[in-house]
Amino acid sequence: MARLRGFTLIELLVVIAIIAILAAILFPVFAQAREKARTTQCLSNSRQIGTAIQMYAQDYDEAIVPWYVGGGDYPTQPIWERFWIGRLWPYIRTEVNRPPAGQLYVEGGRPRGMYACPSWSADRYLKAVLEPDCYPNDYNSFYRPAIEGLVELFSHYASVFQMDLDTYGPDHCSALERGRCGGTNQDPCYYFPGSFISRTRPERNRTNYLANIRRPAETILTGDGISALSNVGGLVVWTSIGCESRYIHQDGSNFTFLDGHAKFIPRNSERYLMVTRCGNRDVVVMKYYTYTAE
């Protein structure tokens, strides 16, 4: 008479342990593959934004799209139309998701279409801010309250902005002379290529042009970050790009350059440095953010 024999408890536990070990090995691989796909999708969005930047420049005498238009084109113009995303909307035509009036971002949803990065999260963003080579001193005074007070989040991408001529001067050498940077590895100089238009304060207007950019293929204009309206003791419009996006795609982020191409930059993009000359002195500048360096 045949006798049926089942698994012993030890055998069953061994099988379960093997499955658990295999799962522990494979799940991180699956997660990395999924994140790689999201990074590629985000990079595709960035490339299309780059094409829109080039089309805008062709239509506006090679002007670089402004990060924000203060005062708006007309009194009732929505905030999102005043951002760089609104200026590029005729070339991208992606839907801009706005929450119902009076609701916070957390109740109103995420950006959509080309302006949505599938990997973006507030936790990753704030984690990067806390890094010693980012802005840990401003974490509690601005960044965390700004994230917690989001009213409308228009894009998971951000734009660099104009520099204040009165404060920084016309280039990074002037900024060095005025004490706005140290020109060292610890305190590099930078000079953003962005534009700004004010309808209410024309003296603040600064329109930069592609012809002014010496290295358009090495100068960042947009990339992973945030463009939003937030309540930080009052409503503020803000765009944030740079070291804050370090952990958006594991350990790096996507950026769009002024010649229209986009690429993934590992680690903190602000810490890729180059050396240039100011008079008789070697000065360290942020490579991807400085357009005035030789």
pLDDT digit string, tens, across residues 65-92:
999 998 888 888 888 888 999 899 889 8
Model confidence, pTM: 0.85
Does residue 5 belong to any structural domain of this protein?
A: no
pLDDT digit string, tens, across residues 117-158:
999 999 999 999 999 999 999 999 999 999 999 888 889 999
pLDDT band at 17 (very low <50, low <70, confident <90, very high): confident
**Half-sphere exposure of 208 toward its Cβ, with a 13 Å CA cutoff?**
27
Residue (of 233, 228, 241) closest to 194 by Cα position: 241
Residues spanned by the domain of 31: 13-286
Rounded CA-CA distance 136/129 in Å is 6
Does residue 165 belong to any structural domain of this protein?
A: yes
Q: Quick one: tokens of 204?
A: 């603040």
Does residue 3 belong to any structural domain of this protein?
A: no
Rounded CA-CA distance 236/230 in Å is 5
Place of tokens 């670089």: 64
Is the model's pLDDT at 107 over the cut of 50?
no
Place of tokens 């802005």: 135
**Any alpha helices (H) in 116-245, and if so which ranges?**
122-129, 144-148, 165-168, 172-177
pLDDT digit string, tens, across residues 190-218:
999 999 988 888 777 889 999 999 999 99
Percent of the chain with pLDDT over 90: 59
Does residue 4 belong to any structural domain of this protein?
A: no
pLDDT band at 111 (very low <50, low <70, confident <90, very high): confident
Averaged pLDDT score across all residues of the chain: 87
Backbone φ and ψ of 185, nearest 5°:
-60, -35
pLDDT for residue 105: 45
Is the model's pLDDT at 177 over the cut of 50?
yes
Domain count, the chain: 1
Distances, alpha carbon 54 to alpha carbons 47, 58, 114, 261, in Å? 11, 6, 16, 10
Q: Which residues of 66-93 are buried (b: 16+ CB within 10 A; e: fewer)?
A: bbbbeebeeeeeebbbbbbbbbbbebbe
